[in-house]
């Protein structure tokens, strides 16, 4: 059975492994970045656990702008209790657990949390090959992002929260 829960500090080692399985070296968050996110934004960092093993994660700070900027990958501030825009800096599912709906479940979980906390949008950047996945989940593609994180071309996708 799949359980979604808030991140804990003891998850760090497994999260770093998962991140490196799912992202290219240039774009993967570092252990230090994860430590900081766990310390500062645990309230918007969730893991998917199956039979006691972390198989997925989603995380990102609540920001003032509807668009992700590269400084977010270096500097994280505590989330406001309500309002703002819920960013997604990372959504990852273990390669051996893909195509079972885990990413969709994590997105739905974050959306529910965003609604409860009266966030305006959920915002993320993704590579071109993931645009259709996010569009199926109600995100609108706003075109090429100003983000150049990791030296890649990213697209801004935003989902308004009704």
* Domain presence at residue 141: no
| Stated pTM of the model | 0.95
**Averaged in consecutive runs of 10 residues, what is the pLDDT profile of the chain (162 residues)?**
97 97 92 95 97 96 92 88 96 96 98 97 96 98 91 95 82
pLDDT at residue 149, as a whole number: 85
pLDDT at residue 148, as a whole number: 85
- In Å, how far are 14, 25, 105, 137, 144 from 31, measured between CA atoms? 10, 12, 25, 29, 28
* Domain presence at residue 149: no
| Closest-CA residue to 27 (of 66, 56, 70, 61) | 70
Distance CA 79, CA 87 (A): 11
Sign of the Cα pseudo-torsion (96, 102, 103, 106, in order): negative
150 burial via Cβ count (<10 Å: 0-12, 13-18, 19+): middle
pLDDT at residue 3, as a whole number: 97
* DSSP result, the chain: -EEEEE--GGGHHHHHHHHHHHS-TTTSPPHHHHHHHHHH-GGGEEEEEETTEEEEEEE--EESSSS--GGGGT---PPPSS-SEEEESEEEE-GGGTTSSHHHHHHHHHHHHHHHTT-SEEEEEE-GGGHHHHHHTT-EEEEE-S--GGG---EEEEEE--
* Domain presence at residue 78: yes
* Domain presence at residue 52: yes
* Domain presence at residue 58: yes
**How many domains does the chain contain in total?**
1
Question: What CATH number has the domain bearing residue 14?
Answer: 3.40.630.30
Per the structure, the complete domain to which residue 115 belongs is given by 2-125
* Domain presence at residue 105: yes
* Domain presence at residue 153: no
pLDDT at residue 41, as a whole number: 97
pLDDT at residue 75, as a whole number: 87
* Domain presence at residue 76: yes
- In Å, how far are 1, 92, 152 from 89, measured between CA atoms? 26, 10, 14
């Amino acid at each position: 059975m799949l359980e979604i829960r808030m991140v804990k500090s003891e998850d760090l080692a497994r999260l770093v492994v998962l991140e490196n399985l799912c992202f290219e070296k240039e774009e993967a968050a570092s252990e230090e970045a994860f430590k900081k996110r766990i310390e500062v934004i645990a309230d918007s960092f969730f893991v998917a656990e199956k039979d006691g093993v972390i198989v997925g994660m989603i995380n990102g700070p609540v920001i003032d702008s509807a668009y992700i900027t590269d400084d977010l990958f270096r500097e994280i501030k505590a989330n406001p209790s309500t309002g703002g825009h819920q960013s997604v800096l990372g959504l990852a599912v273990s390669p051996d657990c893909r195509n079972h709906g885990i990413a969709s479940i994590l997105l739905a979980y974050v959306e529910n949390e965003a609604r409860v906390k009266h966030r305006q949008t959920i915002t993320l950047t993704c590579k071109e090959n993931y645009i259709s996945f996010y569009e199926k989940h109600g995100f609108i593609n706003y075109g090429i992002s100003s983000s150049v994180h990791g030296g890649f071309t990213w697209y801004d996708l935003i989902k308004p929260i009704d």
